[in-house]
Amino acid sequence: MRPAWQHYLTLNAFSLGLTTLTQTNGILFPLLIQQFVGEQDKGGYFGTLRLWSLMAALLAQSSAGMFSDRCASRWGRRRPFIVAGTLMGVVIIAAIGTLANRTGIEAYWLLFMLAIMLQIASNIAQGAQQGLIPDLVPEDQRGRVSGFKALFELPLPLLLVSIVIAPMLADWRVSQALLVVIAVLAGSMLITLLVREVPLAEAQPPVRWADIRRLTLMTALFTAAILGFGSVTKAIMKTMVITLEPAQQVVVLGVAAFLGMLGASLVGVWVSVRAGLGSGLKAHTAFTWWVVNRLTFLAAAFNLSTFAVYFLQARLGLVKEEAARPAAVLMLIIGVLILIFAAPAGWLSDVIGHKKMIAASGIIAGLGTLVVLLYPSLTWIYAGGILIGAAMGCFYAANWALGTRLAPRHEAARFLGISNLAGAGAGAIGAYIGGPIADFFTQSQPQAQGLGYIVLFAVLGMLFLTSTLTLVAIKD
């Protein structure tokens, strides 16, 4: 039986609220941190916030998913968590709005705590919401319902943020912008509550605390890898480069940042998968390298958007809030290109092979990053965004298809869950390691503030190309 049209809406509407919140924070948080700590230290502080808030999100989402699987509420398994997470999120968003006119390091640490709390709240809701389609849609109809979800995850929220919210932030009308976010988040939650969940007929076994311990261990190991390689990179920055000429500093720190991000990706994935699979690791080497491939590509993609506001400010000489509009337009371009290319790329990858499509994605995204770096011009930056968006659409379709083939069929959920654990660190790696690199050039060469972000974006472009090289190790 084909799902009625309203089910396409109720099952997917909450994604609109979540992505609107995420995209708004992607513009607002860099501006707030810049206001709190100043120009010279903004990258490092932003990286620290990204690292810990993303690790909190990872644990919250996975744990909420497990608990909601066993929820016996008469309101259903998922809706109680969606409501609780949304209501907590609304309160935290309102609290963030009170920081708009504050300055100083104390305001930063308040934002740091609120950002972690917001990630926990929103991921409690999201972890449960992701179970609605598997719960309620027949297996042979999930593809079309999930395809409709893309509208709520990409173009609709990106249009809303770029047309409505970004201009408010550009004028520093933070309270108004956050009121729009709250309205969208609450409205999407209310639509989702129209989903007809059937309460569980039988009591479910309790959550296995061993699973939570395993998830916590993997998260801790991955965090330790990022912190370790970040510390090495910072040590190089503080010691070796002091006596170097500016041109040598660019080369040494660029190489150090690239090796730090690559090392955190490799070590973080291998120790995390080891914790998750134990003795089964050797039998699934191809799967582990697939996770590495996915992480290196996403680490570049996520952090291009993460530092878009700072890059536009430095590269184009924009004053603080002026970067909000072009950053939103750039994200919109990338999102629309992902939407356009994802479906045909999925079909084409089935024809020519998933690895070939993934390889092409890394190369095209690397070229797109080069175009972004060529000239200090919005036209060139948007042109590069077109290439990056097209590459990301192809990558999302082909990479996930390859992963589902490499994961053992009888344990697919377990293996893909492990891959999500590793992939969630993508946003943290570039921000935590790359942010201080950008700060170094701002501090040492104030006359060339854009240099740090040129180096950082060049490193991210190298990560795109490296993701293609990792395919050599993936043997079917």
The stretch 113-129 carries a mean pLDDT of 92
**How does 269-292 read in b/e, with b if 16+ C-beta sit within 10 Å?**
bbbbbebbbeeeeeebeebbbbbb
Cα separation of 34 and 38, whole Å?
5
Task: Please say whether the beta carbons of 119 and 56 come within 8 A.
Answer: yes
Residue 203 domain-assigned?
no
Are 404 and 350 members of one domain? Answer: yes
Are 152 and 229 members of one domain? Answer: no
Q: What is the pLDDT of residue 416?
A: 60
Q: 375-393, pLDDT tens digit by residue?
A: 888 999 999 999 999 999 8
The stretch 69-98 carries a mean pLDDT of 89
Quick check: pTM over 0.75?
A: yes
Of 196, 230, 263, which marks where a domain is finished?
Answer: 196
Q: Please, what is the average pLDDT of the chain?
A: 84
Cα separation of 10 and 162, whole Å?
24
Whether residue 467 has pLDDT greater than 50: yes
Task: Please say whether the beta carbons of 68 and 78 come within 8 A.
Answer: yes
Are 75 and 21 members of one domain? Answer: yes
What's 303's domain CATH number? 1.20.1250.20
CB-based contacts of 300, cutoff 8 Å, min separation 6 = 365, 369, 430, 460, 461, 463, 464, 467
Q: Which two tokens stand for residue 273?
A: 């998968």
Are 293 and 224 members of one domain? Answer: yes
The stretch 95-116 carries a mean pLDDT of 95
Are 176 and 301 members of one domain? Answer: no
Q: Which two tokens stand for residue 336?
A: 């629309």
Q: What is the pLDDT of residue 3?
A: 53
What angle is formed at CA 398 by the lines to CA 393 and CA 402, rounded to 5 degrees?
A: 150
How far is residue 297 CA from its own chain's centroid? Answer: 12
Cα separation of 395 and 399, whole Å?
5
The number of folded domains in the chain is 2
Are 30 and 90 members of one domain? Answer: yes
**Which domain range does residue 279 map to?**
214-476
Task: Find which of 9-18, 19-28, 213-222, 333-342 is predicted with most confidence, using mean pLDDT.
Answer: 19-28
Residue 202 domain-assigned?
no
Q: Which two tokens stand for residue 40?
A: 């010279």
Cα separation of 476 and 466, whole Å?
20
Q: Which two tokens stand for residue 173?
A: 């009308």
Are 258 and 329 members of one domain? Answer: yes
Residue 207 domain-assigned?
no
Are 178 and 245 members of one domain? Answer: no
Are 97 and 226 members of one domain? Answer: no
Q: What is the pLDDT of residue 359?
A: 94
Residue 353 domain-assigned?
yes
Task: Please say whether the beta carbons of 229 and 263 come within 8 A.
Answer: yes
Of 170, 196, 222, which marks where a domain is finished?
Answer: 196
> Could you tell me what percent of the chain has a pLDDT over 70?
86
**Among the listed ranges 32-46, 233-247, 398-412, which one has the minimum average pLDDT value?**
398-412
Cα separation of 358 and 399, whole Å?
6
SS3 1: coil
Residue 393 domain-assigned?
yes
Task: Please say whether the beta carbons of 271 and 221 come within 8 A.
Answer: yes
Whether residue 441 has pLDDT greater than 60: yes
Q: 266-318, pLDDT tens digit by residue?
A: 888 888 777 766 655 566 788 888 888 989 999 999 888 888 888 888 888 88
- Give the DSSP H/E element, type plus range, for residue 123: helix 105-129
Whether residue 1 has pLDDT greater than 50: no
CB-based contacts of 260, cutoff 8 Å, min separation 6 = 229, 230, 232, 233, 433
Whether residue 422 has pLDDT greater than 70: no
Residue 290: C-alpha distances to residues 267, 285, 364, 403 (Å): 14, 9, 19, 7
Residue 148 domain-assigned?
yes
Q: Which two tokens stand for residue 169?
A: 């932030």
Of 166, 196, 226, which marks where a domain is finished?
Answer: 196
What angle is formed at CA 272 by the lines to CA 216 and CA 365, rounded to 5 degrees?
A: 115
Whether residue 12 has pLDDT greater than 90: no
**How does 382-401 read in b/e, with b if 16+ C-beta sit within 10 Å?**
bbbbebbbbbbbbbbbbbbb
Residue 102 CB burial class (10 angstroms; 0-12, 13-18, ≥19): middle
Residue 208 domain-assigned?
no
Are 185 and 38 members of one domain? Answer: yes
Residue 123 neighbours by CB distance under 10 Å: 25
Residue 209 domain-assigned?
no
Are 312 and 370 members of one domain? Answer: yes
Q: Which of 25, 2, 55 is nearest to 427 (CA)?
A: 55
Are 114 and 233 members of one domain? Answer: no
The stretch 462-475 carries a mean pLDDT of 92
End-to-end CA distance of the chain: 36
